[in-house]
Amino acid sequence: MPIRQTLDLPDIQLSYLEWNQGQTPLLLLHGLADHGLVWSSLGDYLAPKYHIVAPDLRGHGESSKPDQGYTFDDHIADLEALMDHLGWSSADIL
């Protein structure tokens, strides 16, 4: 079962689900108009091998929904900040 976490960034709060059982970092990114919970079954299945994080990208799920800041660069900056917070220098991404 994942744990819901929140990372406070300068312009938003980034909500994410974390399965912290395995070793290999794995980011599970949802599609447009979705949220991190879409990965719940796969996360449970892969948790013994991977340290999994499934964020609700800005404007989705339980993350903040700002009026602006939805560029590709904004999303990448959010993910870089999340990885820094987790102490990850790299991760597998799905």
Per-10-residue mean pLDDT, the chain, length 94: 97 98 98 97 98 99 98 98 98 98
The pLDDT score that the predictor gives to residue 59 is 98
Among 82, 38, 35, CA closest to 60: 35
User: Structural domain tally of the chain?
Assistant: 1
- Write down the pLDDT at residue 93: 98
pLDDT of residue 3: 98
pLDDT at 25: 99
- Please report, for the domain that includes residue 61, its CATH number: 3.40.50.1820
What pLDDT score was predicted for residue 16?
Answer: 99
d(CA 91, CA 8): 21
Q: Which structural domain range is residue 16 located in? A: 3-93
State the DSSP code for 80: H
pLDDT score for 21? 93
